[in-house]
Amino acid sequence: MNTQILSINLVPKNAWGKNVRAVVSNHEWNKLRWHFGASLEQPTPGGGAMCGHSSQGNNYLICNVCERTFDNLHLHELWQFDDIKLIQKLIGCRAICEECHNAIHFGRSQSVGLEKQAFAHLQKINGWSEEDTKNHVKSSFREWVRRDRFHYKLDLSYLLENNLISKRNIHWAWLDRPKRVRDRLGQR
């Protein structure tokens, strides 16, 4: 298997919807999106937005994986799982396009009929053979099944340590709102 630029990131089922976006306001989320280059709209203190340039000063955005340009990107959270202490720790964020987002969230892509497109993009970006790509998919799902047996504690200290958000703007109680989690996942 050649180098891995893009990889599948399957979050355990019991952690679905339990992420940064679930515990911060839309305004705080949009500030993070702009900071990491996923939005051209810079949030203003009053809750509005100034349009036009990315945090890098461009009038376009660049996917951090495939390096294509767009006018809007997803903000993808990077997680590190400690399988001994059962901690799901945020270690960064990156701006990614829709196709890279679908490949990373391969399980979700399967459930909404985008499996073939996600598979093809994963294969293309990594320069893998079909067999290499299938092996990566299988390996990712094996890891997901193993991790799905446990409940991980969410660690968002990265946001505080890097002065990206203040502690008072992280609303941990929002994780206990089933309707909010369902809404974030697009379920009713």
Q: In this predicted model, what pLDDT tens digit does every residue of 15-69 receive, in sequence order? A: 888 999 999 999 999 999 999 999 998 887 765 555 555 556 668 899 999 999 9
Residue 1 and residue 136 in contact, taking contact as beta carbons nearer than 8 Å = yes
- Taking the whole predicted model, whether its pTM rises above 0.75 is answered as yes
Tell me which H or E stretch contains 101.
helix 98-104
Strands (E), 35-181: 42-43, 49-50, 61-62, 69-70, 74-82, 87-96, 153-155
Amino acid 188: pLDDT: 35
Residue 95 and residue 88 in contact, taking contact as beta carbons nearer than 8 Å = no
Give every CB contact of residue 2 below 8 A, 6+ residues apart in sequence. Answer: 126, 127, 128, 132
pLDDT digits (tens, 9 = 90+) for 64-116: 999 999 999 999 999 999 999 999 999 999 999 999 999 999 999 999 999 99
C-alpha–C-alpha distance, residues 158 and 176, integer Å: 22
pLDDT digits (tens, 9 = 90+) for 108-167: 999 999 999 999 999 999 999 999 999 999 999 999 999 999 999 999 999 999 999 999
Q: For the chain, give every domain's residue range.
A: 13-179
Q: Has residue 4 got a pLDDT over 80? A: no
